[in-house]
Amino acid sequence: MKIKVFIVFLLTTYFHQPPAYENKEENIGSWQIRNGVLIESKNSPETNLAQYNWNIFYTIFPKKITQKYIKRLVLFTDGVDEKTGALGALNEKNTEWQLVLDTADVNFKSESRERINQSIYTLVHEFGHLITLNNTQIKPSEKKNQSSDEPYVTIEGEALKESYINLFVDRFWSGGLLDQWDVIQKKYCFTEQKSCFEKLYGLYNENYTDFITDYAAESPEEDLAESWTAFVLHSRIEDPETVAEQKINFFYQFPELVQYRRIIRKNIRRYVE
């Protein structure tokens, strides 16, 4: 779910299960990040926990991008397997971002291999948003409606013509799929969230071979991030048979993303071996 400026892209474990709204969220704290360094907060007793989580993120992902864009870390929890993480723009220029993590879900101290894998998955997914929605990819815009002959419009602004997301949407969402999704957004997602989830899951069921996961059907942005995550964590598909598999291979045309993949895969070895 996207909310402009503050918290966007909340990643849930299973898209087709609506959030448990009765679960109360606990805000643990927030910390400023300066040039990749977490600044201690005197108002939070959980600075050690924040430092631990930040060190993991900072050691996994390319430092140049992380230093440039991530300016705040927020920790919270709503229990296991609800909202797991988020990435949000802190300004309308898309130059400063905050990373939001649920400490019950992103837990590298867990004895569960499944939990460690989920933690890695969440971080890779959120980094995918960072590299596809920053100011080198999206320019601020007041546009609200999508036109078939113009670049893709996100909450953050208008995608540049050669941006990752615009090329992705042109190839995989053009035509009827984007139109169907747009109708669902306007008719259901701005009014009643349960119906929104149901309609988007229906969109996935109708096009299930087009998506890596059911969560990817939430939006082109989430589809791109889910496909990016599969690109990073899995091997190249030599003979893609589905659109979903083509989406994984989409990223190999960009040398810089192949390099990011190499760096990330090297840095997560200590957690997956």
User: Could you tell me the pLDDT band of residue 114, with boundaries at 50, 70 and 90?
Assistant: very high
User: Could you tell me the pLDDT band of residue 31, with boundaries at 50, 70 and 90?
Assistant: very high
Same domain, 156 and 233: yes
Domain boundary among 133, 155, 176: 133
Residue at 140 is within a domain: no
Q: What is the pLDDT of residue 2?
A: 32
Same domain, 129 and 150: no
Residues 6+ apart with CB under 8 A from 114: none
Domain boundary among 133, 153, 178: 133
* Segment 216-271, tens digit of pLDDT: 999 999 999 999 999 999 999 999 999 999 999 999 999 999 999 999 999 999 99
Residue at 7 is within a domain: no
Residue at 10 is within a domain: no
Cα distance between residue 180 and residue 202, in whole Å: 11
Same domain, 126 and 198: no
- In this predicted structure, which of 7-21, 138-152, 159-173, 215-229 has the lowest mean pLDDT? 7-21
Domain of 88: which CATH number?
3.30.2010
Same domain, 257 and 151: yes
Of the candidates 108, 111, 128, the one whose C-alpha atom is nearest the C-alpha of residue 51 is: 108
Residue at 166 is within a domain: yes
Residue at 118 is within a domain: yes
Q: Region 39-59: what's the mean pLDDT?
A: 90
Q: Which domain holds residue 226?
A: 145-272
Residue at 2 is within a domain: no
Cα distance between residue 120 and residue 211, in whole Å: 20
Cα distance between residue 197 and residue 217, in whole Å: 10
Same domain, 58 and 109: yes
Cα distance between residue 240 and residue 160, in whole Å: 28
Are 16 and 99 in contact by the 8 Å Cβ rule? The answer is no
Tokens of 78: 């709503």
On the question of pLDDT at 21 being above 70, the answer is no
On the question of pLDDT at 23 being above 80, the answer is no
User: Could you tell me the pLDDT band of residue 33, with boundaries at 50, 70 and 90?
Assistant: very high
Same domain, 42 and 105: yes
- In this predicted structure, which of 3-7, 47-51, 130-134, 243-247 has the lowest mean pLDDT? 3-7
Same domain, 169 and 126: no
- In this predicted structure, which of 10-14, 121-125, 265-269 has the lowest mean pLDDT? 10-14
Cα distance between residue 47 and residue 49, in whole Å: 5
User: Could you tell me the pLDDT band of residue 145, with boundaries at 50, 70 and 90?
Assistant: confident
* Segment 54-78, tens digit of pLDDT: 999 999 999 999 999 999 999 999 8
pTM, 2 dp: 0.90
On the question of pLDDT at 14 being above 60, the answer is no
* Segment 162-196, tens digit of pLDDT: 999 999 999 999 878 998 998 998 888 877 677 89
Number of separate domains in the chain: 2
Are 75 and 46 in contact by the 8 Å Cβ rule? The answer is yes
Cα distance between residue 54 and residue 174, in whole Å: 38
Same domain, 162 and 217: yes
Of the candidates 78, 97, 87, 106, the one whose C-alpha atom is nearest the C-alpha of residue 9 is: 87
Domain boundary among 133, 154, 180: 133
Q: What is the pLDDT of residue 24?
A: 75
Average pLDDT, the chain: 88
